[in-house]
Chain A
Amino acid sequence: MIRVQREDFDVGAELTRLAAGNHQVGGIASFIGLVRDMGGSDRICALTLEHYPGMTERKLAEIEAEANRRWPLAASLVIHRYGRLEPGDRIVLVAAASPHREAALAACHFLIDWLKTKAPFWKAEETAAGERWVEARAEDDTSAESWKISS
């Protein structure tokens, strides 16, 4: 399931719902991304997440379908927020449920790696010096690429 929303989510409730009534689920792996503040001269007051409505949902659905093609998942979930968020706020929840832990853990890792390089979201940081668009990291591309050969 894919959800793109402004409001926060309840991690416990979402994970409970993911496996509810499905007794084939032996484990759920999850990743929760938060707004961080590295402190020092780079202090972040807030973060604004912009996205491309339509393409975002489409790309997330493709990524989720790919995870389900690669691993035997009982259920999967991606919730990504947009709008203005403050340090400590939740940004994203990715979860994968499977009869076995290996598939759940690998699929969860895959989902967040691919989401980071393919889903059209952009972060602008509010700092004391003004607004600054976050630049993409080459390491994220490398992480996403690694799934092409290892699975």
Chain B
Amino acid sequence: MKLLYFAWLRARVGCAEEEFALPPEVCKVADLLDWLRSRGGGHAEALRDLRVVRVAVNQDYVGLEHPVREGDEVALFPPVTGG
């Protein structure tokens, strides 16, 4: 799967994009966030407060219960501030 990070999440994680095989214990967005946090370092720091993290799967906003599958494009970013 492909993970994308934007804005301060990108800065804290330390990269804009990473690809990896979906871990077997990850079935939904909440599992993915738990797994990423368990990697520690920048990931744990960036995902410390989930109230300021938005998630998109395949370019649509989703909630924590949304399923995650191999081949998905998952993006993590803060609340948007355009306009």
Contacts and interface: CB of A to CB of B under 8 A. Distances in A.
Q: Do A and B bind each other?
A: yes
Interface of A: 33, 49-52, 54-55, 58, 80, 91-92, 112, 115-124, 133-136
Interface string B34-71: 00000000000000000000001001110000000000
Contact of A91 (B6, B79, B80, B83): B83
Given A52-B75, A55-B59, A133-B78, A122 B83 contact: no
A136 B60 CA distance: 19
A133 B82 contact: no
Contacts of B7: 50, 122, 124, 133
Nearest to B56: A55
Interface hub of B4, B59, B78, B81 (most chain A Cβ within 10 A) = B81
A122 B56 contact: no
Given A58-B59, A122-B6, A124-B7, A52 B82 contact: no
Contacts of B4: 52
B80 to A, nearest CB: 5
Contacts of A134: 81
A64 to B, nearest CB: 14
Contacts of B59: 52, 54-55, 58
Contacts of A51: 82
Given A50-B6, A54-B59, A55-B56, A121 B81 contact: yes
